[in-house]
Amino acid sequence: MSQLSTEYRPLRLMDTFRNLFYTPIYVAVAGGFFYAEGLNVEFSTVPEGQPAMDMLRSGAVDIAQTGISRSLMDLDEGKEDAPLHIAEINQRDGFFLLSRIPVENWAWKDLEGSSLIPIGFTPVPWNPLRTVLKNNGVDLDAINLIGGLSAAEAIDRFRNGQADYLHILHPFAQTLIEGGIGHMAASMGPELGYICYSSFAATPSYIDDNPETVQAFVTGFHKALNWVAESDAQAIAERVSPFFPDILPESLASGIGQYKIQETWPRDALIGEDGYDSMRDILIDGGLVTGRHPYQRLVRPELARNAMDA
């Protein structure tokens, strides 16, 4: 056994889809924030087609980036061992709506009669978008939705002119804009305000069996969030650039800058009960979740509070 493995607690961490919305994760890994808390983190991405919750239950990963939606759906299905959420990753919706043609004085009602590709590899992003459309009086039946596509398929169809609008994250939105293919029509984040969109989760048994490791993880991530809040977009882009080798640093900085302006990422790791309730209610309204499961059932806020007090 190596000296590193004897001195540092091992932890396997996964994200589900590599994009700038999850920038604080990459900062925490590349910036040594977990290492500074005594953790030897093995970081990777959930294999395509493998649900993060299944990987948590199987023991293939210790902590995963996910959302409260998945645990709420587990409870709806009677799974009492639903993973618990230990730290907030982002506090706003990070998706953008791109148009194939330049837009001026754009309004949400302009979507009526058009074709739109919402991200289809997961059902969650459609629900906040649906809420925004309803809030702005858009007739959902008047939009031709092209669903069920992977991110790569969605981008390819948009590039080929097979849709009027694309619902996408940075850095993909930024590179499409820079290439003259897409034009910014709207941003979801300011429309919805605070929602607990993404968070880290672990199984109840892992948390119970490894309390010091989980606390160290949350403390390290909390410090990474502080660093992101206090750093400029260029410094953050330099820190995360190894995770995006095919994207120009200036493109990364532009996308990160927009996310920072929109207050996409929290300053601390605490999942707020109001943000939890708002996201849960969006998912219920969209039909993805049925039960009004309370905050206390799925969130372990004491871990973030401990980190904030450290």
- pLDDT on residue 187: 97
Looking at residue 1, what is its pLDDT?
27
**Boundary of a domain, candidates 160, 192, 224:** 192
pLDDT for residue 122: 78
Same domain, 304 and 199: yes
The answer, yes or no, to whether residue 230 has pLDDT greater than 50, is: yes
Mean predicted confidence (pLDDT) in 236-258: 97
Query: Percent of the chain having pLDDT more than 90?
Result: 92
Q: What is the pLDDT of residue 148?
A: 87
pLDDT, position 127: 95
**Three-class SS of 215-234:** HHHHHHHHHHHHHHHHCCHH
- Report whether pLDDT(101) > 90: yes
User: How confident is residue 2, by pLDDT bands cut at 50, 70 and 90?
Assistant: very low
- At 4 the pLDDT is 44
Cross-strand partners of 40: 10
Residues 188 and 232 in one domain: no
Residue 88 has pLDDT above 70, yes or no: yes
H/E stretch holding 238: helix 233-240
Which range is least confidently modeled, 49-53, 86-90, 291-295, 304-308?
49-53
Give the CATH number for residue 164: 3.40.190.10
Same domain? For 73 and 215 the reply is: yes
Count of domains for the chain: 2
Cα(96)–Cα(165) distance, integer angstroms: 10
* Same domain assignment for residues 113 and 85: no
Residue range of the domain that includes 249 = 3-92+195-309
Q: Which residues touch 231 (CB under 8 Å, ≥6 apart)? A: 239
* Region for 116 from its dihedrals, namely left if φ exceeds 0, alpha if ψ lies in -120 to 50, beta otherwise: beta
The answer on 143 and 240 residing in a single domain is no
Q: Are 25 and 55 in contact (CB under 8 A)?
A: no
Domain closes at, from 192, 225, 257 = 192
